[in-house]
Structure 1
Amino acid sequence: MNRKLKQYTQLLSQSVLFWSVAMGLYSILRYYGIDEEDHFTVVTSYSGTLGILYSLLKLTSIGILIGALYTTIDFIFDAFAARRISLTNDVVIRTLFHFMTTIFVFTMVTDVFSDFNNTNVNTDSGWWAQNKSFWTAILYIVVASFVFSFIKMANEKFGKGTFLKLLLGKYKTPQEEKRIFMFLDLKDSTAIAENLGHYKYSEFIQDCFYDLNAVVPKFNAEIYQYVGDEVVLSWPYKKGLANNNCIDLFFAFQQKKQRKSEYYQNKYGVIPEFKAGLHGGKLMVTEVGVIKKEIAYHGDVINTSARIQGECNTYKVPFLISEKIMQDLKVSAHITSQFLGSVLLKGKQEKVGIHAINQIA
């Protein structure tokens, strides 16, 4: 519950900041200098700088309310309705709610500012239908919504803060970072695929990854890659260690699947089990590609994480982590670890200590 509240608070602050700035900018673009334009007659109680400040305050207030209400609507939809209706219906219904919210906010703020300014502005039922200024604002809001959605998708694609670094060209040349990687792979995937067939198996993987995506934001993880039935997750080193995020995510994902075990059993005849390998350290990150640009990580950390995950079959355990991560973690009371020894991973010249991690029921 606390993590959901934290997630909502983060989304709320981002949305309110964006929309307050966007509507403040709209105020400047719409009204600044308009009383000096030739062939324009402006009728307003305020003029000049005072008029701009008045419209800026009014539209910024609208932006704050829109940001707060849009976020609340989207958060509720994502939590309760996103998986129950088609994408088309989702977009149509959300748009309808956003539009009604916008009318409500414009009406309320206009009423408040009309009382403050002692002006008689028409906000009777249906006032917005013939109001050209309102539809101009709606057009601007639609364009701003596309910009906001693009920024959100870019952040989800590249990770928080990475998109801005891309725009600034930080990764044009390789940069050293310290990160934690988890390779998460479906157990017995070949047998499951043969049993389900390629179409049903694709639905099965889709459901598994949807459940994983519901967990990922709660533990500040970033999805680096989807590779078939495998997912590569990543954290900045300190974020991964904080509150045992890099450990607790795996067990939260397990619990998510256990709660939906009846659903998986009824629909697919099998309950998915995943195995994971975890390792961290310094590596290089850079921008690659021209036609399709991506952020790529290069270094031994990636290979070692993948090899550790491969040892899960050897030791018949679901979750293995490296000695390095184990030393840096502050293992909480609900976690137990077992040192399995130092093993020579495939392709490596030095042995790596590995630990099996389990959660106390």
Structure 2
Amino acid sequence: MKHKFNYTTIARRFTSHYPLLSSLITQISFWIMANAVLGLIIFLYVRSLESIYPVIADQRLSPVMVIAILLGFLYGATLGLVDHYVEIFSFQKRSIGQIILIKTILSVGTLTTMLWLILDKLHEFIFASVIQQHQLPINDRFWHYVLCMLVVYYLFMTLIINFAIQVNKKFGPGVLLPLLFGKYRNPIEEERIFMFMDLKSSTSIAESSGHLQYSAFIRDSFYDINQLIPRYHAEVYQYVGDEIVLSWTVPEGLRKLACIQFFLPVKNSLRIKQIITRKTTDAYHSLKPDFIWVSW
């Protein structure tokens, strides 16, 4: 059976199998484009100055683009590694605003350090000879303002990429681009496999634990389930109270029977969490998350 090309399915599969590579590709692609735009702006600005102060030999765009691409690759690779490993160890259960803020601070700090080192070397090997040849009145204050300009630009770009990454994670890999290009503006028919996972004995649990602990219990149970979703290429259709509705495209759901295989790891994950937290005296941890499911 021949299937149409589905970008969302391919993106989800690739991200779940190669999360580090996916992070690197995202960051490198973005920073190459961001640096290319910055390089073009600087090139046009320098050419405009040359028309008034013809002190520098004719400049070409190609060397600027080469440097921009190389620096974009360097920035992207560094920030891709930082983003991937910091996400694993530090950002579980944090709000989107906190994640964006922390990542932006880390990214700008990393970029500022790299910029300082790169500008120092470029000044020594490239700019120094040009400055001496044309006797340009450039001093340390000039480089200070250049560094500040680049930091402001990269701060803005970092906010954009971190926001886009978090939105992409909330929608799921492979959804943001089709959304921007209007794929979901008009209704379409699709054959999908659905799984309905409903919490057992939810009324008695809510009565025994209180509404605050019960809400935290539901939140953490859904969080644990969400950690397994990418591995089985599922999509969250909606949350309804204590129920979570998942769906697969037919090819993805039948691929290695993912729509059936998904349930057992969920049961095991919740059971392991219950065993680990059993020693605590907190009534919240004595709750037993268990789900029944129906699918078609």
1:104 pairs, out of 113, 131, 135, with 113
Greater relative contact order structure (CA < 8 Å, 6+ sep): 2
Give the equivalent residue in structure 1 for 2:28: 16
Give the equivalent residue in structure 2 for 1:66: 75
Distance apart, 1:199 and its partner CA: 0.6
Distance apart, 1:201 and its partner CA: 0.8
Distance apart, 1:23 and its partner CA: 1.6
Distance apart, 1:198 and its partner CA: 0.7
Give the equivalent residue in structure 2 for 1:288: none
Establish whether residue 231 from structure 1 lines up as the match of residue 231 from structure 2.
no
Alpha-carbon RMSD: 3.4
Unaligned runs of 5+ residues in structure 1 are 122-126, 280-361
Establish whether residue 259 from structure 1 lines up as the match of residue 272 from structure 2.
yes
Paired AA for residue 188 in structure 1: S
Paired AA for residue 29 in structure 2: L
1:48 pairs, out of 54, 59, 68, with 59
Unaligned runs of 5+ residues in structure 2 are 1-13, 131-139
Give the equivalent residue in structure 2 for 1:7: 19
Verify the 8 A CA contact 1:35 1:41 in the aligned structure 2. Answer: no
Which TM-score applies when normalising by structure 1? Answer: 0.63
- 1:165-314 superposed matches below 5 A: 165-265=178-278, 266=280, 267=282, 268=284, 269-279=286-296
2:88 pairs, out of 52, 57, 79, with 79
Quickly say closer, same or farther: Cα 1:24–1:229, change in 2 above 3 A: same
Verify the 8 A CA contact 2:108 2:154 in the aligned structure 1. Answer: no
In the alignment, the residues of structure 1 paired with residue 146 and residue 169 of structure 2 have an alpha-carbon distance, to the nearest angstrom, of: 34
Verify the 8 A CA contact 1:62 1:109 in the aligned structure 2. Answer: no
In the alignment, the residues of structure 1 paired with residue 121 and residue 166 of structure 2 have an alpha-carbon distance, to the nearest angstrom, of: 35
Q: Compare 64-73 and 80-89 and name the one that shifted more.
A: 80-89
Verify the 8 A CA contact 1:264 1:271 in the aligned structure 2. Answer: no
Match of 1:180, SS state, is strand
Verify the 8 A CA contact 2:196 2:246 in the aligned structure 1. Answer: yes
Q: Deviations over 1:13-45 (max 9, x none)?
A: 12211121122122112323532347864876x
Match of 1:251, SS state, is helix
Quickly say closer, same or farther: Cα 1:48–1:262, change in 2 above 3 A: same
In the alignment, the residues of structure 2 paired with residue 71 and residue 26 of structure 1 have an alpha-carbon distance, to the nearest angstrom, of: 20
Q: How many residues align?
A: 270
Verify the 8 A CA contact 1:184 1:274 in the aligned structure 2. Answer: yes
Verify the 8 A CA contact 1:62 1:106 in the aligned structure 2. Answer: no
Q: Deviations over 1:260-303 (max 9, x none)?
A: 22355434212211222232xxxxxxxxxxxxxxxxxxxxxxxx
Establish whether residue 162 from structure 1 lines up as the match of residue 175 from structure 2.
yes
Q: Deviations over 1:43-75 (max 9, x none)?
A: 76x7432xx222222232222222222222222
Give the equivalent residue in structure 2 for 1:287: none
Establish whether residue 132 from structure 1 lines up as the match of residue 145 from structure 2.
yes
Q: Name the structure with the higher strand share.
A: 1
Quickly say closer, same or farther: Cα 1:98–1:171, change in 2 above 3 A: closer
Verify the 8 A CA contact 1:187 1:273 in the aligned structure 2. Answer: yes
Quickly say closer, same or farther: Cα 1:132–1:33, change in 2 above 3 A: closer
Q: Deviations over 1:165-201 (max 9, x none)?
A: 3333333322122322222222211111111111111
Paired AA for residue 42 in structure 2: R
Identity of aligned residues (%): 30
In the alignment, the residues of structure 2 paired with residue 186 and residue 42 of structure 1 have an alpha-carbon distance, to the nearest angstrom, of: 74
Q: Compare 78-87 and 257-266 and name the one that shifted more.
A: 78-87
Quickly say closer, same or farther: Cα 1:66–1:271, change in 2 above 3 A: farther
Q: Name the structure with the higher helix share.
A: 2
Distance apart, 1:93 and its partner CA: 4.7
Which TM-score applies when normalising by structure 2? Answer: 0.76
In the alignment, the residues of structure 1 paired with residue 250 and residue 141 of structure 2 have an alpha-carbon distance, to the nearest angstrom, of: 51
Paired AA for residue 60 in structure 1: I
Quickly say closer, same or farther: Cα 1:48–1:178, change in 2 above 3 A: farther
Verify the 8 A CA contact 2:28 2:76 in the aligned structure 1. Answer: yes
Paired AA for residue 103 in structure 1: T
Paired AA for residue 260 in structure 1: K
Match of 2:189, SS state, is strand
In the alignment, the residues of structure 1 paired with residue 98 and residue 171 of structure 2 have an alpha-carbon distance, to the nearest angstrom, of: 28
Verify the 8 A CA contact 2:23 2:81 in the aligned structure 1. Answer: no
